[in-house]
Every structure is written in structure tokens, then in C-alpha cells.
Amino acid sequence: MKYLITGAGGLIGSEAVKFFSKKGLVWGIDNNMRSEFFGSQGDVTSVISSLGEIEGYTHFWSDITKEDQMNDIFRKIMPDVVIHCAAQPSHDKAASIPILDFDVNARGTIILLESFRKYCDKDSVFLHMSTNKVYGDGPNNVPIVELPSRWEYDSNCENSLYRKGIPEDFPIDRCLHSLFGASKASADIIAQEYGRYFGLNVGIFRGGCLTGPQHAGVELHGFLSYIVRCAVRNIPYTIFGYKGKQVRDQIHSFDVISAFEHFIVSPRKGEVYNIGGGYENSLSVIEVIDKIRENHKYNLSFRFDETNRIGDHICYYSDLSKLKGHFPGWKITKSTDEIIDEIVYQNKKES
């Protein structure tokens, strides 16, 4: 099997390289644009260098927005599997770079899909890493209740169908997305079309909070990783809005790749899946801070900013029923405690 992975230096991309290098030849694409988005804190050069030590791995310092470069790579490799993880990933950063954000997230995706359609076998598989931000701030319209440390969907109200979380058929229009959410929604929909219209094996995975020890979290993206980093390295942290009770579901990068493997074995055409930690792996910002203090004895220095991030979710966790129904062999293997343990260990080792 031949695997081509975009965003190979990122969290999910690097996990995919390590996992699938045991199953075949792997090529990666990553030009370290993350450093342009987030500065030195987002630099993934060291990750890319470490991937070069993996037998059977080849790296391209190429740009997914350059059609000629992508056509050339696809023509030479003709991959059996494409895992598209490259993106501008920040909800907030997109507002300051709207053209670049759309160019990378939307145009880059359709360039890859068209190269896939032209140069890959009909049985080949394309996996697109989407985001829960395609739902915009629509989940904020679901009735919630305030608990001591978190906001929670109100299971006693008429919308109790959301007690397991947000499902894939939740509306994605007529709401506020952020520019990042809009560019990713564009990519999400075009990926569905390449599956449904052209009859290609394309899977779309709408990620919750994807994390793991190799996650290069920054203030504008990757809140769990960044909170742990601040706690271990004694960096002050700012909580933006919602009393710190905003909730996210956390999923380890390994469990994401495990879902990918199940789809590759039994692919579908243009199917959409939520991929997150679900209710069991959901935490508020305050709950994360409490866990770090209780389990690892780090007292994070933080302050509250009452300004809510535009289009931010108050409470979000993924309904995983569809993914588990289609792939009953898949399950979450890493708890939030285990995830935090790994991130703390990695930060202690690096600091």
C-alpha cells in the first residue's frame, strides 16, 4: 500500500505517518506553514526531521495550494490512500489572514481531490480531516444548563436528542462560523461532492478537540495542549469567556488514526463522521485546570477575560453513534486522564 499524508508534521499527520509506515510506503507533504501562522511556537521542523528517520518515509516540502506541485506528486506516486490533514487550524487566526486561510483550507482541498480523481485508482481512498466548526455557533442554540464547573446540554428539554452530543445531521448553515469555520465548511462540502458526485471513496471526519503529546498547541489553537504547556512551564493563561465552563470533547490522535484505518478497510463514498472524544471524554476549561492541579500538582496561573471568542461553542461534544455504528470495532482507548498524563510528561521532558 502507498500512503500520501498532507500536514505530515502536524498532530494527526505525524501520528498517521508513524502508524501507516508499518503497513506500507508513506509520503508526507508539509512545508511548515504552521510557523507562518503561529510563529516559532507553531514550528514543526523538529517533527518533520524525526519523521525522516522512519524507514520507507519520503518527505515533500511542497505547498498544497500549488496545483502543479500536487499533480506532479500524485502522478509519480499514484497513492492508494490519501490522508488530508493539512490546514490553517485556528478559529481566531483566520480573521487576520482570511485569504490565506481560505486558500489553504478550501482551495488546497479541492486541488488535492482533483489530483486524487485524475491520478488514483477507483478503489483508492481519500480521508479529509474536517472540524466541528463546520456547525458554526449553531450548537449554542441547543438548551443548556449551568453546572458548578461546566455547561451541559439539558437532557430534560425538548431537544434531548442531543444528550449524546451533536450528530452529523446538525444544520451547518444560517449561523456564525468564523472565517475558519467557513473555509473548512467549504472543504467539507466539496469533499462530500467528490465522493457522491464522482463516486469516489471519500470520508470526511469532523474533529472535536484532537490532541496528544506531540501537539504543538498555541493560544489560538489546541487548548488542552496549550493549558498543560502553560501549567508545566509556569506561563500565565487567559480564559476567554463563558466563565471557563465551556466544554470540549478530547480525542487522542491515536484513536483518530484507528478510525481512519477502519474507514480505509471499508470505505464509503462521501460519508461524514464526527470524530471526537464524545461525552465521556468531555471537559471544561476549569475541569482541565482542576485535573492538572489534582493529578500533577501544577497550579496554573490564569485570568478571566469576559470577552467570548466570536462564534465559539459554549458546549460541544460529538455524538459518535454513526461512527460506532458503521465501524463497531472502533472505540475510544485513551481517557482524558491518560491524555493529560502523556502531554504533561512530554512537556516536562522538553522543558
Domains of the chain: 2-350 (3.40.50.720)
Q: What is the pLDDT of residues 123-156, one digit of tens each?
A: 999 999 999 999 999 999 999 999 999 999 987 6
Q: What is the average pLDDT across 184-208?
A: 98
Q: What is the average pLDDT across 18-47?
A: 91
- From CA 193, how far away is CA 188, in angstroms rounded? 9
The total number of residues written for the chain in this structure: 351
How large a percentage of the chain has pLDDT more than 70? Answer: 98
Give the model's pLDDT for residue 68: 98
Q: Provide the 10 A C-beta neighbour count for residue 141.
A: 11
Does the structure show a pLDDT above 60 at 342?
yes
CA atoms 33, 336, 126, 27: torsion sign: positive
Q: What is the mean pLDDT of the chain?
A: 94
- From CA 155, how far away is CA 258, in angstroms rounded? 30
**Sequential DSSP letters for 253-285:** HHHHHHHHHHHHHS--SSEEEEES-TGGGEEEH
Give the model's pLDDT for residue 158: 61
Give the model's pLDDT for residue 43: 86
The region of weakest confidence among 153-167, 174-188, 189-203 is: 153-167
Does the structure show a pLDDT above 70 at 159?
no
Give the model's pLDDT for residue 154: 87
Q: Which residue has the higher pLDDT, 85 or 213?
A: 85
Q: What is the average pLDDT across 66-70?
A: 98
Give the model's pLDDT for residue 277: 97
Q: What is the pLDDT of residues 197-254, one digit of tens each?
A: 999 999 999 999 999 988 877 776 678 999 999 999 999 999 999 999 999 999 999 9
Give the model's pLDDT for residue 325: 98
- From CA 26, how far away is CA 1, in angstroms rounded? 9
Give the model's pLDDT for residue 157: 67
- Angle at Cα 276 formed by Cα 272 and Cα 282, nearest 5°? 145
- From CA 275, how far away is CA 331, in angstroms rounded? 11
Give the model's pLDDT for residue 91: 81
